[in-house]
Structure 1
Amino acid sequence: MRTPAVQSVLFVGGKRTEALEAARTAGLQVIYLGRLGDMSDRHRQLADAAFLFPEFSPELALGSAVALHAFLPFDLAYTTGDAYLRIAAQINDRLGLKSNPLHTVRAVDDKALMREVLRGKPVGQVASAEVRNRTDLEHFATANGFPLILKPSRGSASKDIHVISDATSLADTARTAFTEGDTAEDAAPWVAEELLDGREFSVETHSAAGEHQILAVTEKFKNEHCVEIGHVVPARVTAAEHTLLADETRSVLTALGVEEGPAHTELILTARGPRLIETHTRPGGDAIVELIKIATGHDIHGLTFAWLSGKPADAPFEPSAAAAAIWFRTTGPGRVTAAGGEAAARTGEGVLFASLSAAVGDVVREARSSDDRCGEALAVGDDADTALRRAQAAVGRLVVEVEPLDAG
């Protein structure tokens, strides 16, 4: 049974406005609840009402939304930001509004809990365990061997991900990740997993009444610190591989209880078949939404709010190019002494966008999280190889020169 059509949406937090624009296009009332510093002129143009706070905590968001609903009712709380996914789910749960169940969003938001929920379900299994101290990590390594990966259970943006290859690197990582004297009760949770070997992809979907529509398969590229440095749509896979990735994604989403809206599911295609890294009940980041729109014609935000407003989830679409890719500039560490090349990057064939975020005087770091990237370029082509080559060439024209911080 499809979700009853909504007329008003409460957007919780976030600086981006694409989802708000899609809601307005679908004819919905838009209410914004968030931090004062995140409110832009475009937010003001799109929002019928806005409630802003200098600081914005989960407790404040929940209490404010419940109070707001009493005199300005809304049919759904929605967000596209990782930081607010659980808050929006709590609002919907407290007010009895139809959305993905709270237990589903909690599992998606907590990588260790997600693995527990999926354990024994009809999906590809991955060896994993929640760990809170060095002893837990050593036990996992003894049981499962090296290499393994350690990451925060509720992390995002590829931050604090550690690849552990042997006992020496385990000891080094433990000194960084765990505070001496932590007990299982007071330490922040991490999750240890077997290190999956294979090519990495994400599958972009829209779910409607529990049916999961595959919109695209994205091919992903990472550096040695597991930070994403590029994406291309469509992924360079065979028809059989596409089917494997699509089927595993549907199985994962069903096992987790995802019922409504967009999802971004990251997998590695191993020799044993696809294995889940993580999934999110939101669209993909890093301009993946734009890549999909260009290369497949699917507008994820438009599809989401068309469905919510009562329209079919199978609207016609028309791609504008056969393939689209984005590539990121990385550098560092050090202080930026020269930066530029954006105009040259934009002149490349098929380049739609190129931007540099580093400026002279900035301190930049080696790319150990998505926040450490300092430029990007998006390009299109007649095939995935061409789009990738053009995006990489454009990024190569972005100039970022650095000197060591201890240089005289």
Structure 2
Amino acid sequence: MRTPAVKSVLFVGGKRTEALEAARNAGLQVIYAGPTSDMSRQHHELVDAAFLFPEFSPELAFRVAVGLREHLPFDLAYTAGDAYLQTAAQINDELGLKSNPLRAVSAVNDKALMREVLREMPVGQVASAEIRNRSDLERFATSNGFPLILKPSRGSASKDIHIISGPAELREIAAGLETAGDDAPKDTAPWVVEEFLTGREFSVETHSAAGVHQILAVTEKFTNEHRVEIGHVVPARITAAEHTQLTDETTSVLTALGVAEGPAHTELILTARGPRLVETHTRPGGDAIVELIKIATGYDIHEMTFSWLSGKPPVVAHDPQAGGAAIWFLTAERGRVTAAGGEAEARASEGVRFASLSAAAGDVVAEVRSSDDRHGEALAVGDDADSALRNAREAIGRLVVEVEPLGHD
């Protein structure tokens, strides 16, 4: 049981309402603060009070929350999205509200700091360095060789990730980097460089209560050449030994970082040396992974979270709805869209729970270098992981996006 139990929660931002609904169902008072544009009819139906702003920055969110508690007390600030994870942790720390320690959340949200914290810990080590300037990058390449991977320290959605295969590519990328300069403070390093990890990719979905990490599922992940995720399936198609390796490493990482409660989404690559951490998050997985887990395992991560916060046992399970669940994303060719369609056909495919297409005639399709560059999705179920994955991919195959090269008359 959680002590003290939460009776009122402040949600900081967020367009989705599943967590709001779970908090409401757990009997909690629900307060919402966020941008006006994110407030939907569902939000209005679920919240007891809402504070909306035309523009809502993390800095404003912090000031609003601290001032609000004097007039409308709440027991916890919570968010399920990347944009305000650090802010919610800072609010809880400033107000003395029990949650994950600010240091733990800061390490999770800053990839350079995460590697520093884990460097002396009993977890699989990954060669890495903070990058403030071109010299830092060249020094790491000299010591560790190629290929290597460069990413923003505080990036998300797979944006601005660079896989550097040799010296010429390093010079080209380094010339365009926005760096902090040689005299910048230590905490301003904008980039982190890491050894390139080779192997299959997975994420481990967990819920923690008083420092005890419960494994909910292992998700098998699929990425393109830029490490952008293009598909997921639950359960992962792995051996019992591989499952143990991945889950043991996850619990070790979460413990080492100081994560004590709530959902976590931990991404790993299973290398020849064993599992190695890519990154972790103190939130549920995105890309409908929450729904995949619910279908294939019966665990509802939002229900578990707010059951725990309200002082009830966090172990909440339901019967699985299917043997496997998968989501696949449409990655169209580069160019200008001349025709798009096929949603009805995709939705009618075997096992499909939902399918959508975001591309339309006239749109310009860019190279898929972040999650924002995907143009459709299909979630499907099956008797097992293989059939669920096949159903999802077949549904995506029914979506039509025709493009012509840019500049075509």
Output the TM-score relative to the length of structure 1: 0.98
Contact 2:2/2:312, CA 8 A, preserved across alignment:
no
Structure 1 residue aligned with 2:313: 312
Q: Does 1:329 align with 2:330?
A: yes
Structure 1 residue aligned with 2:404: 403
SS, match of residue 157 in structure 2: coil
Structure 2 residue aligned with 1:266: 267
The AA in structure 1 aligned to 2:407 is D
- How much has 1:182 moved relative to structure 2? 4.1
Contact 2:104/2:257, CA 8 A, preserved across alignment:
yes
SS, match of residue 386 in structure 1: helix
- How much has 1:2 moved relative to structure 2? 3.3
Where do residues 3-402 of structure 1 align in structure 2 (5 Å cutoff)?
A: 3-178=3-178, 182-183=181-182, 185=184, 189-402=190-403
- Mapped partners of 1:159, 1:32: distance in 2: 28
Contact 2:151/2:162, CA 8 A, preserved across alignment:
yes
- How much has 1:362 moved relative to structure 2? 1.5
The AA in structure 2 aligned to 1:152 is P
Detail structure 1 runs of 4+ shifted over 4 Å in the superposition.
none
- How much has 1:351 moved relative to structure 2? 1.0
- Mapped partners of 1:247, 1:3: distance in 2: 27
SS, match of residue 71 in structure 1: coil
- Mapped partners of 1:253, 1:242: distance in 2: 17
- How much has 1:405 moved relative to structure 2? 2.4
Q: CA 1:388 to 1:184, structure 2 compared with 1: closer, same or farther past 3 Å?
A: farther
- Mapped partners of 1:386, 1:99: distance in 2: 40
SS, match of residue 350 in structure 2: coil
Identity %: 76
Which stretch shows the higher mean deviation, 107-116 or 397-406? 397-406
- Mapped partners of 2:384, 2:77: distance in 1: 39
C-alpha RMSD over aligned residues: 1.3
Count residues with an aligned counterpart: 407
- How much has 1:364 moved relative to structure 2? 1.8
SS, match of residue 338 in structure 1: strand
- After superposition, give the CA deviation of every residue in 1:99-141 in whole Å (9 maximum; x if it has no partner): 0001111000000000000001000000000002211100000
- Mapped partners of 1:358, 1:120: distance in 2: 47
- Mapped partners of 2:94, 2:266: distance in 1: 27
Contact 2:300/2:316, CA 8 A, preserved across alignment:
no
Contact 2:300/2:317, CA 8 A, preserved across alignment:
no
Please, which runs of 5 or more residues in structure 1 have no aligned partner? none
The AA in structure 2 aligned to 1:95 is L
- How much has 1:406 moved relative to structure 2? 1.0
SS, match of residue 108 in structure 1: helix
The AA in structure 1 aligned to 2:70 is A
Contact 2:336/2:364, CA 8 A, preserved across alignment:
yes
- Mapped partners of 2:28, 2:151: distance in 1: 39
- How much has 1:176 moved relative to structure 2? 2.8
- How much has 1:76 moved relative to structure 2? 0.3
- How much has 1:276 moved relative to structure 2? 0.2
- How much has 1:209 moved relative to structure 2? 0.3
- How much has 1:336 moved relative to structure 2? 1.2
The AA in structure 2 aligned to 1:308 is L
Which stretch shows the higher mean deviation, 4-13 or 328-337? 328-337
Contact 2:8/2:31, CA 8 A, preserved across alignment:
yes
- How much has 1:380 moved relative to structure 2? 0.7
- Mapped partners of 2:405, 2:318: distance in 1: 50
- How much has 1:23 moved relative to structure 2? 0.3
Output the TM-score relative to the length of structure 2: 0.97
- Mapped partners of 2:259, 2:135: distance in 1: 34
- Mapped partners of 1:316, 1:348: distance in 2: 29
- Mapped partners of 1:237, 1:270: distance in 2: 13
The AA in structure 2 aligned to 1:276 is L
Contact 2:307/2:314, CA 8 A, preserved across alignment:
yes
SS, match of residue 139 in structure 1: helix
- How much has 1:271 moved relative to structure 2? 0.8
Q: CA 1:197 to 1:337, structure 2 compared with 1: closer, same or farther past 3 Å?
A: same
Q: CA 1:278 to 1:184, structure 2 compared with 1: closer, same or farther past 3 Å?
A: farther
Q: CA 1:90 to 1:101, structure 2 compared with 1: closer, same or farther past 3 Å?
A: same
- Mapped partners of 1:347, 1:188: distance in 2: 49
